Chain A
């Protein structure tokens, strides 16, 4: 046996190890941001705009300021010299759209923060906020993204020439020629509504400032602090390294936890008063003013042959971005990573318009850019199949990329890393009796009952190559993605692991322990993995954090690299100590063993030797190995092509529904999901994520819709109006798997578990299928019982 080959022992990776995290959560001993007590804390509560669009004429804070326990009422002008803007990441002149924590002169959406009350307790801060009087001159709100595109329409930001903050037409192949060859062109308008994955823990933070050292201790549940470090430091005119980021347990993220502007504000308040400054967002604040998922109006065309072969797709996508651009239009270019989904067509045109309106800004939300592209592709295929009189499942199968074409380069330059899509569709056919369902559907229709089944497939690209920003701003030269890991053998021989990811319920402590246990021939119980994130403790890179499912590729790459370096180091020290050959050394049960003689050294003894004996310059020193894993990414090409992810997981979801003809109620019957996210490091954890994605995305189709009225008021600002599904609304799920290891990631795992929008679109397709006899065409991404009744009534009148 050669060194470097682990001994024959069961592998932990691939097994459903129960989570190390659970004990603290099931006993009420998790620690979330709001759970840690700081002394002399100041509580910060915002005063929010009741107008969608208005000029701020004045702020009268005297009554609030007079309240005992209120320290101050602060607005933008109080931070004039302290807080600089975070500019929109779009080319000039639209980078002049500036983000500040508090509105300056003008409010541009309902819920925008105008001022903050700083007080001794949260109750007093709330009292104070009620007493702040803001004088507004209301302006007409711009709420319709199409009208906002018209030249001369009222501008959301007067600092820029129009409401179209960014637009680009991406053309791949020769779509015009392909449309010329089509037997039929299907044209549809589609609208994907706003929703939000609304983590149960809201966005929160406490900042403590240490005047002597100039250090800001930023204790928050932000998902990717290292990505935001430069922006926070630039805004506050401080050294980036003066920010110490710490995240404790996080109560769900889903992309929503990127409250960089709030952390900037808390830093400034903490420094001003030399006391910890704390903000805990309330649920209404979260729904009004965190961010919403990408809302898109599509005008789409699909060119098809009579047999169902897809030739090309064209779409104009108007992204209704809301009032500010903090990360957008990133969601738009995210769609291009997997624009052709699982299908073989090569000719594509997608034009994106990022349009400003007087609504809450949009941003990353679970399956960011993936839900949006799946809505387009998978609704269009179903519409095409209906027009052609084909079976929608068979039409998909006809167009799938074949396994022998892997790795497959898509027209946009994505390099798909393996997968057998036809086999997955075949697997679905064994799980669901399509012919039997159609027979039952016909029989029930004859009796006035309506059931439907729909499927949707989708790609989950992960992680994100920073080069995607080049599609937005060609002047940007950044590309790449990296993560850092550290493995240390403590003096007692125990194994300590830290990395730059920021888990929000993902089970990293467990999966990392499984991985390192395999590499060092130990057990997960032997491996201690840090919880949360602390930039003073954990290694990191500029990209560190947890977003875009990046753990499976980036976190894993970093930890495997560090653990393998540690393994090599232990073997070298052991070989040196016993005078054995490197290739005769092996690892097992906390020892390095010289196989021929049986002589062995415990990890503790090796740690002691490395620090207390003179071995050799390269063997001595702390038993600590760091590793930075870099994804092999390059820049984008000038024509908008590039490989912007390392792995491309995929899933197919089937949903069946029954419609109550009297009430329009849509009853979910079966939800079957087949998911291939490569090597399943902990199948139990993957399954759990798939369940969660199903609930979010079926929820978005049937329950969850962010809604503004004609005046720009948000009518869904509590969980009484924004309906997240409950256990009583949902069935059990039938989750199955394919497992095609990634050709490119370190352990073959792919970033997954985000759903790719397939549960959402499968639900829509199922409802459309049920309503087919009524001639209904679904345009929206969300359908309600009232709309179903309308469809049926109108259909019956025809």
Chain B
């Protein structure tokens, strides 16, 4: 255990920016994001992949970054909450939804909730309430009782549907 372990070079693209680092093989992805890249919007709430505060997108799908080694993400593209808004600062419809519908209180679960919801609406743009509740069932919130988080996601879906209608008409 005390023997020094050779570091491994990895390359990841996070929020559109390429990073190369040599990391310990045991370094968790969440610690790469938080401690090495200083992207502290991704949080840790449980250590057992139960709470989802560490949820980020790996490619298209959301994953729990506390349950994956940084080396496993080598060569991949990652999106964290910091990369959710447009480059000009325009908020993502989900971010607007969380604000408009009061979908957050302490804010600690919010980044993970947002990223899980991004995955949902990318694959199912018009989910019903049951689908929304199932999609965020891997994310624990202790403040909102989920009521307004569901409404926040519905808000974003409605907004995206309106945009789409405008685009196609």
Contact = CB atoms under 8 A, between A and B. Distances in A.
A37 interface: yes
A21 interface: yes
Given A719-B51, A727-B136, A30 B107 contact: yes
A201 B48 contact: no
Given A197-B142, A283-B46, A728-B137, 5 more contacts: A27-B82, A28-B84, A127-B1, A200-B108, A688-B144
B142 A29 contact: no
Contact of B145 (A21, A201, A684, A695): A695
Which are the 7 A-B pairs with shortest beta-carbon distances?
Answer: A28-B41, A505-B106, A25-B107, A251-B108, A695-B145, A719-B50, A28-B81
A28 B114 CA distance: 10
A257 to B, nearest CB: 11
Contacts of A506: 105
Interface of B: 1-2, 4, 24, 26-27, 34, 38-48, 50-51, 53, 80-82, 84-85, 91, 95, 98-100, 102, 104-111, 114, 129, 132-134, 136-150
A720 B48 contact: yes
A726 B38 CA distance: 29
B149 A251 contact: no
14 contacts: A26-B95, A27-B81, A27-B82, A32-B40, A32-B108, A283-B45, A505-B105, A692-B145, A696-B145, A718-B50, A719-B48, A726-B136, A726-B137, A727-B134
Nearest to A26: B95
**Interface of chain A: mostly helix, strand, loop or mixed:** loop
Contacts of B47: 282-284, 718
A61 interface: no
Nearest to B15: A28
A201 B106 contact: yes
A201 B40 contact: no
A198 B142 contact: yes
A732 B108 contact: no
A200 B98 CA distance: 18
A342 to B, nearest CB: 24
A27 B99 contact: no
B41 to A, nearest CB: 2
A727 B137 CA distance: 5
Interface string A184-222: 000000000000011111100000000000000000000
A694 B145 contact: yes
Contacts of B98: 22, 26
A28 B51 contact: no
Contacts of A695: 142, 144-146
Nearest to B151: A732
B102 A718 contact: no
B54 to A, nearest CB: 11
Interface string A29-67: 111101101000000000000000000000000000011
B83 to A, nearest CB: 9
B51 A200 contact: yes
A68 interface: yes
B106 to A, nearest CB: 3
Contacts of B45: 200-202, 251, 283
Nearest to B39: A28
A131 B2 CA distance: 10
A545 to B, nearest CB: 16
Contacts of A627: none
Interface of A: 16, 18-19, 21-32, 34-35, 37, 66-68, 123, 127, 130-131, 197-202, 249-252, 254, 282-284, 504-507, 684-685, 687-689, 691-696, 718-720, 724, 726-730, 732-733
Contacts of A694: 145
A696 B145 CA distance: 8
Given A26-B91, A26-B95, A730 B106 contact: no
A251 B147 contact: no
A35 B34 CA distance: 8
B53 to A, nearest CB: 6
A732 B107 contact: no
Contacts of A130: 1
B2 to A, nearest CB: 5
Contacts of A505: 104-108, 143
Nearest to B45: A200
Contact of B142 (A27, A199, A685): A199
A26 B145 contact: no
A732 B109 contact: no
A647 B134 CA distance: 39
B38 A26 contact: no
B106 A199 contact: yes
In the complex, which of the residues A130, A505, A693, A727 has the most CB atoms of chain B within 10 Å of its own CB atom? A727
A46 B31 CA distance: 20
A67 B50 CA distance: 31
A19 B99 contact: yes
A252 B143 contact: yes
Contacts of B44: 34
A327 B158 CA distance: 49
Given A26-B98, A252-B143, A727 B132 contact: yes
Contacts of B102: 16, 18-19, 684-685, 687-688
A561 B110 CA distance: 35
Contacts of B48: 283, 718-720
A719 B44 CA distance: 13
A23 B132 CA distance: 23
